[in-house]
Amino acid sequence: MMEAKVKALEHERRLSRARGEQALEYARAAAELYMQVAERAALQERKLLVAKIKELIDLAELLKRNPANPATTKRPSLPISTRERTRTEEIVVLRASRLHGNTFPPWKDPPDEEFSRASCPEGVYMCVKDVTLTNKTPLTDLKGLLSDDTAFTLSHEQQTTFSGWRRAAELVPRTENGSLENDAKQLMAANSDLDLAQDLASDCSVVASLCAAARYFSPGPGSLLGSLMYPYNHELMRPDVSENGKYAFRMYFNGTWRRVTIDDRLPSSSTDRTLYVVDRRNPRLIWPALVEKAYLKIRGGYDFPGSNSGTDLYALTGWIPEQIFLQSDDFELDDTWDRIKKAYDEGDAILTLGTGNILPEEEQALGLVKEHDYAVLDVKVEAESRLLLVKNPWVDSLVWTGIGSSATLQAHTVGSTSEGQSNQFWMAFEDVLQHFDSLYVNWNPALFLYRQDHHFKWDIPDSTEQLVYTRNPQFSILSPSKSSVWVLLSRHWQDGELDILRARRSERDHHGLSLAAVSKQLGFMSLSIFASTPPGTRIPLADGHHCLHQGPYVDSPNTLLRYTPTPNIAQTLVVTQSELPLPSYSFTLSFFSLDPLTINPADEPLKHTTTVSGAWTRRTAGGSAAHATYFTNPQYALTLTSSSQLTLVLSTSSRDLPVHIALIFSPQTALRGRCITSLHGRDILSASPEYQRGCTFLSVPLLDAGIYTVVLSTYEPGQTGQFTLRVSADAEIALSPLLADSAGMLRTPAPKPAVFRSSGEHRLRMRLSVVRLTRLCILARSGAPPAASELPMFSSSGHRPALGPDSCITSGTAIRISLELGTGPHRKVLAMSGRSLHTNDGNIDHNEEGEFADATMGLCTGEADVDPELVRAYGPGGLWVVVERIGGGTVTGDGDVAGNSTERGLHEGVYVEVLSDGAVQFGKVWENADE
């Protein structure tokens, strides 16, 4: 069935160029092939095919009756999006109608009786003072002429020669003894081949577009102008002259075909230079200048800030634009040549070229202009050389010299002008690849049977979410076959972009910036196709998901992605951007295919999502778990109501910031709503890949209901930046920031670290006293003393307690800390590190022994309420902070290692502090508490 579709389309395209009996045969063959396809097509597809078959049969009947009539020749019908727009999409399309103070409504029906003088309302008559008169212009000719009040802006250079707006009939040379009416009719007909050129206008891309599309625009059978420009004389197969100076154009931009209305006044010049496109062979031809004016109306004026010819031709013709980067490492020479040669020969491609930033000395040597668009007028193979006939649209400019040409033709052929035509030259395709940056191809949409348009608005996410896809438009695409699918993303023009371009162009003029640098100020966009799980669902970021097709990032308002789908498996299309400067945009996605596609906005794979934003500051950027300050990083309590899959996406405002997510189960901190201050390996349930730059992702296949702690960290302490954390699950979730342990509590450090001075010491204690009922917990860390900016463990004098010259403890020793009441065998443990806060029945088990653990990452006891009366009543033992160790050796003051330790631990110790809601006081020394 697919082969029959392709053959039917080929017959349709051949029909557009055939005449007489040959055209009849193509029409019949196409109809028969579509009948074969319709027999096996689904109901919706069959309806479309039946309509196309009827159209071809009607044309065949017309050809049988009058095969010589060229008016019966038609181009293949273009695929039309039959999808019904939503109300939201209708609003998007209508709002995009406003540009530069003008309204360009969506196209409805071709205009009919709008171009006579009688139809021009009194309110739009042109005043005599608004027109430049000639001695041959009678005042009666001014009545009933349309005057468009659009303010067409001009560049500074254009203004120096501008001498007013004149009617088209006033600007062209008059034939001797010719009537105004007869002369006017000749404004729309050329006597020879077109030779369009640009002079003082700054729209090289527009003129290059008109030159390249001349064979489709030229009056005659199948001319595109017949459906794009009004009034149009279908019998004479050329544009007609409007009696009242009014012209209507059908142009495709901002998501749909739109109506652009202008009058026939053009900017006149006080010199022999022209401010609009001219035909050097047919100086009286005026319709190209009217097309140019209509397009410049939607782009902001004659001081055109720059575009590319692919974008311009898309608006002028509706043909699908593709930008091929000739300098890309992925460029395939033979495949590209075969594609464009076949399409060009069959009339399905318009070709233009764009240069990059060429050095001035290279411009003169090569005969090429930097950052300039060229038209391709012909494509051929001769003497084993692949050649393009290239035209520079400037009136008088450089042409390719052929220096260093790789063509096998003789030197006088390559690089020379063609048949004496100025600014045209043959160029080998290999030379094109060397000296041009881009090949723009506008493809005939009639290459496809089906089209589907989707319109949407996108509020660009803030800087913390621009590196991930959590807020990007995403679509699910399902194809029944492997036939190629083309996806075109079009960004709607808006006034803010024109303001940026004009400001940057002024800056370029003052500082010598390139046009490329100016255009890049509008940002970049791209399209990607992913294999998602489940198929066709949204993905949060590229990492961890298989990218099937990645389009280039372009600074153009259009980008095309061509790909081969996997049949009957939905895939996810993601719209991406970089550095788009405005806060909000509207877009259109157009899908072209040979089979009907099922396209919908991609769904979230998990039902519930919550998002928080925060920042790593100088006080909260604690670095990785290798640093003692790890627990100062931002932490969040994650509540999961029932067992579920869980995903976490962390994104930042900096591409170079290495970040990490840790999911921790630590009930002694989560239940009290405070940050964790110690960490054991078994507490870490899952973690993202090690410190990825800019953003990272964590997925847990199944997580039990409960309260968990999420720690967000950068790699090094002091690495600051903003972030956004997005958490998704199938169950309801809640995410709330955890308070730092010091939040609202007093921090009281011990006056000196606990140091085990001999291998025989295993328990050290220091007295602790309270003056009123106080809730407290004890924190401890071992290792070298942290910097003051990292841990606020200070004495009452504000100075960090110093270690003596012989103070030492081995690193890596397993430690346990506790808060004990009394001494000896009858002591009571009020709180201890390394044990659960609750038993299965929810009560505190004071008899449970806590586990020993490495204290370099910190240890924390649970909270305990201490009443001074209870302390006194318990006996003379009092209240103690106890540090215990198991294993480890010692390091003497001179740094020699003793015992079984392999660590150098000079100036190391266990640093202890108390967090409390009331004042506490430590004793003065640590004493040996071994029993």
What confidence score (pLDDT) does residue 66 get? 64
Arithmetic mean of pLDDT, 361-367: 86
Q: Which of the residues 204, 211, 777, 808 is marked catalytic?
A: 204
More confident residue, 571 or 809: 571
Beta strands in 471-564 (DSSP E): 474-478, 485-491, 524-531, 546-550, 558-563
Write out the two tokens for 181.
Answer: 């009416």
CA distance 319 to 771: 84
Beta bridge partners of 649: 697, 726
Write out the two tokens for 522.
Answer: 């509008």
In a 13 Å sphere around the CA of 806, the CA atoms on its Cβ side amount to 4
**Residue 455 pLDDT > 80:** yes
Q: Please choose, from the candidates 262, 284, 115, the residue with its C-alpha nearest in 3D space to the C-alpha of residue 184.
A: 284
More confident residue, 49 or 686: 686
What confidence score (pLDDT) does residue 178 get? 55
What percent of the chain has pLDDT above 90?
A: 49
Q: Is 718 left (phi over 0), alpha (psi -120 to 50) or beta?
A: left
DSSP reduced 3-state for 492:
coil
602-644 pLDDT, tens digit per residue, is: 999 999 999 999 999 988 998 998 887 788 899 999 999 999 9
770-803 pLDDT, tens digit per residue, is: 999 999 888 888 765 544 333 333 333 333 333 3
Domain spanning 608-737: which CATH class is it, in words? mainly beta
CA distance 594 to 503: 44
What is the DSSP-derived secondary structure letter of residue 756? -
Residue type, 67: P
Whole-number Cα distances in Å, 620 to 12, 629, 693: 68, 9, 19
CA distance 891 to 906: 7
**Residue 34 pLDDT > 70:** yes
Domain spanning 448-601: which CATH class is it, in words? mainly beta
What's the pLDDT band for 745 if we cut at 50, 70, 90? confident
Write out the two tokens for 71.
Answer: 């008016």
Which contiguous run of DSSP H or E holds residue 820?
strand 814-821
CB count, 10 Å around CB of 25? 16
Please check whether residue 829 is in contact with residue 763, taking contact to mean a CB–CB distance below 8 angstroms.
no
CA distance 193 to 279: 9
Report the chain's terminal Cα–Cα distance, integer Å.
Answer: 91
CA distance 774 to 249: 83
CA distance 588 to 695: 28
**Positive or negative torsion for Cα 542, 547, 551, 552:** positive
CA distance 829 to 874: 13
Is residue 423 flagged as an active site residue? no
Write out the two tokens for 152.
Answer: 């067409």
CA distance 501 to 555: 12
Is residue 66 flagged as an active site residue? no
Beta strands in 326-462 (DSSP E): 349-354, 373-382, 385-391, 424-428, 438-443, 450-459
- Which ranges in the chain are annotated with CATH 2.60.120.380? 448-601, 608-737
* 546-550 and 438-443 beta bridge pairing: unpaired
What confidence score (pLDDT) does residue 789 get? 36
Arithmetic mean of pLDDT, 812-818: 83
What confidence score (pLDDT) does residue 398 get? 75
In angstroms and rounded to an integer, the radius of gyration of the C-alpha atoms of the chain is 39
What's the pLDDT band for 517 if we cut at 50, 70, 90? low
What confidence score (pLDDT) does residue 907 get? 42
More confident residue, 352 or 673: 352
**Beta carbons within 8 Å of 217's beta carbon, 6+ residues apart:** 210, 223, 224, 225, 288, 291
What confidence score (pLDDT) does residue 65 get? 66
CA distance 519 to 538: 31
**Residue 863 pLDDT > 90:** no
Cis peptide before 792 (omega within 30 of 0): no
Q: Which of the residues 372, 435, 454, 627 is marked catalytic?
A: 372
- Which ranges in the chain are annotated with CATH 3.90.70.10? 320-443
**Beta carbons within 8 Å of 499's beta carbon, 6+ residues apart:** none
DSSP reduced 3-state for 93:
helix
Q: Domain 320-443 is of which CATH architecture?
A: Alpha-Beta Complex (3.90)
Beta strands in 127-275 (DSSP E): 162-167, 196-197, 229-230, 232-233, 238-239, 246-253, 256-263, 265-269
- What proportions of the chain, in percent to the nearest 5, are helix, strand and coil? 25, 30, 45
885-896 pLDDT, tens digit per residue, is: 987 654 433 334
**Residue 806 pLDDT > 70:** no
**Residue 199 pLDDT > 60:** yes
**Residue 334 pLDDT > 90:** yes
**Residue 118 pLDDT > 60:** yes
225-261 pLDDT, tens digit per residue, is: 989 999 998 888 889 889 889 999 999 999 999 999 9
Please check whether residue 920 is in contact with residue 776, taking contact to mean a CB–CB distance below 8 angstroms.
yes
Please check whether residue 841 is in contact with residue 868, taking contact to mean a CB–CB distance below 8 angstroms.
no
Torsion of CA 329, 335, 337, 338, to 10 degrees: -170
Phi, psi at residue 519, to the nearest 5°?
Answer: -65, -30
What confidence score (pLDDT) does residue 861 get? 84
What confidence score (pLDDT) does residue 420 get? 54
Q: Which residue has the tokens 């994650």?
A: 638
Residue type, 569: I
531-558 pLDDT, tens digit per residue, is: 999 999 999 999 878 999 999 999 999 9
CA distance 212 to 217: 10
Whole-number Cα distances in Å, 286 to 172, 578, 903, 919: 8, 41, 89, 92
Q: Which of the residues 392, 472, 558, 633 is marked catalytic?
A: 392
Ranges 27-31, 686-690, 796-800: which has the least confidence: 796-800
Is residue 808 flagged as an active site residue? no
Torsion of CA 420, 423, 429, 430, to 10 degrees: 110
Encode 83-93: b = buried (16+ Cβ within 10 Å), e = exposed. Answer: eebeeebeebb
